[in-house]
Amino acid sequence: MASKDTTRVAVFFTHGVSLELWDQRGMLSRELAFYQALAQTGLDVCLYTYGKNDGRYRDLLGPNLTLAEKPCHCPASHYAFMLPFVYWKRLRKADLLRIHQVAGAIPALLAHWLWRKPLIVRAGFHWYRFAKRQGASWLKLKMISLIEWLTYKSATAIIHTTQEDADFVADRYHVPRAKIHVIPNWIDTQMFRPMSVDKNPRSVCFVGRLEEQKNLHALVEAIQGLGAQLIVYGEGSLRESLEQQARDLHVPVKFRGHIANKELPRALNACEIFVLPSLYEGNPKALLEAMACGLPVIGTNVEGIASVLQNHETGLVCEITVDSLKEALTQLLNDHDLQKQIGDRARNDILATSSLEQAVQTELTLYPV
C-alpha cells in the first residue's frame, strides 16, 4: 500500500493487450522488467490491462507494482471507454498517467481530461506509419491520426524510440520539439550478454513475427547455397509458406516457434549470426538483444535499422534484396575475425546507449511530480 506521499503512476496498456497475451508471446518478463525497475525507484506503479485472467500474474509483479485487470467480459473496444469509470476511485488518486503505446491512448485521454493529470506518452513505433505501410483503410488511418493528434496535444511529455519518429511527430502534428524525447528501447544487459555456449556452426538466426514486414522469403532464398542453416524464432501468418519455400529450395531452416524471453539469450548465443531483413522497423528489440549478446548482426538499410547500426562497425547494413542479403551473409560466415570485432563493438554500443537502467533514469527526469 502506497503512503499518501508516494507518487502514483497509472500505466495504460496497448489496446487489447494483457499480461496473459505477453506471456503467450514469450515476452512477459521482458516487458514487466521496465515497470518493476520503475517501481523499485519508490514509485507506486499500477498496470491497467485488458486481461480478464491477469490476476494469476500478481505474484510476479514485485514491490510497489500492482494490477488493475479487466473485471468483466466485454470487447476491448468497449472497455477502453469504460476503464476510467470502472477504476474511478483509483485513477482519481493517481499523480501521473503513462501510456505504454499510443494505441492504448483512449482510456488515458479520458482520465487526463477528467482529472487533468500529467500525461506521459510513449510510442515504441509510429502507429500511423506502420498502419499505412500495412495497407490500413482510409477510415482507419483517419481514426489513428485523430487519436495521435489528441494524444500528442494532451501530453506533458512524449517518448519516441528513434529520432525519425520524433521528427515525424513534430512535423505532422506540429508538436513543440521540446516536448518530444528520444529514449531507445532498453535491453536488460545482464540477462542479454555473451555466454560460454557451444555455437552451431554456420548458423544464422532470426527472431520476430513471421509477416510480410520482416522480408523472410528473401532471407530464406539468400541462405540457399551458403552451406548455412537458418534458425527462426517466432510465429505468424507466413510460417506455412516459408516452410514450403525452404523445402522447395532445399534450404535447412528450423522453425522453433515462440521462445520465452528468459530462454532467448542462450538461444542467441548458440548462433553465429543474427539477421533482421525487414522492410521497415521501429526500434527493434530483437536486434538490440542480439547486439547485447555480442552477436555480429546484419540489418537492412531501412528506417529503424540503419539508424541503429554503423556499417562494418556494429553490424553489416545491406539492402532488402536477396543478392545483398546473400553478400552480407557470405562475408560474415567466412570471416570469424570480423564476426568477433563486430560482435564486441555491438555489445559495447548497447551498454553505452540502451541499458534498462539508463531508460528508467532518463524517463524519471520527464516526470513532473
Write the DSSP assignment of 77-108 as a string of letters.
HHHHHHHHHHTHHHHHT-SEEEESSGGGHHHH
Domain ranges of the chain: 8-186+355-364, 203-353
Side-chain-facing half-sphere of 314: CA atoms under 13 Å: 21
By the 8 A CB rule, do 153 and 322 touch?
A: no
Query: To which H or E segment does residue 61 belong?
Result: none
What's the CA gap between 199 and 202, in Å, rounded? Answer: 9
pLDDT of 342 above 70:
yes
Lowest mean pLDDT among 122-126, 179-183, 334-338: 122-126
Return the C-alpha cell found at 201: 556452426
What's the CA gap between 139 and 135, in Å, rounded? Answer: 11
Same fold? 8-186+355-364, 203-353: yes
pLDDT of 368 above 90:
no
pLDDT band at 10; cut points 50, 70, 90: very high
By the 8 A CB rule, do 20 and 109 touch?
A: no
- CATH 3.40.50.2300 matches 203-353: no
Which pLDDT score is estimated for 133? 86
For 276-312, how does the pLDDT look when each residue is reduced to its tens digit (9 = 90+)? 999 999 899 999 999 999 999 999 999 899 989 999 9
CATH number for the segment(s) 8-186+355-364? 3.40.50.2000
The DSSP call for residue 58 is G
Return the C-alpha cell found at 224: 540457399
The model's pTM is 0.87
Q: Which residues contact 269 (CB under 8 A, 6 or more apart)?
A: 194, 195, 197, 199, 293, 294, 295
If one counts every other C-beta atom within 10 angstroms of the C-beta of residue 317, the result is: 21
131 to each of 15, 93, 124, 128, 151, how far by Cα in Å? 15, 35, 14, 5, 17
Secondary structure of residue 150 in the 3-state scheme: helix
By the 8 A CB rule, do 315 and 342 touch?
A: yes
For 17-48, how does the pLDDT look when each residue is reduced to its tens digit (9 = 90+)? 999 999 998 889 989 999 999 999 999 999 99
Backbone angles phi, psi at 34, to 5 degrees: -65, -45
pLDDT of 186 above 80:
yes
The DSSP call for residue 364 is H
Across the strands, what pairs with 48? 12, 68
By the 8 A CB rule, do 312 and 342 touch?
A: yes
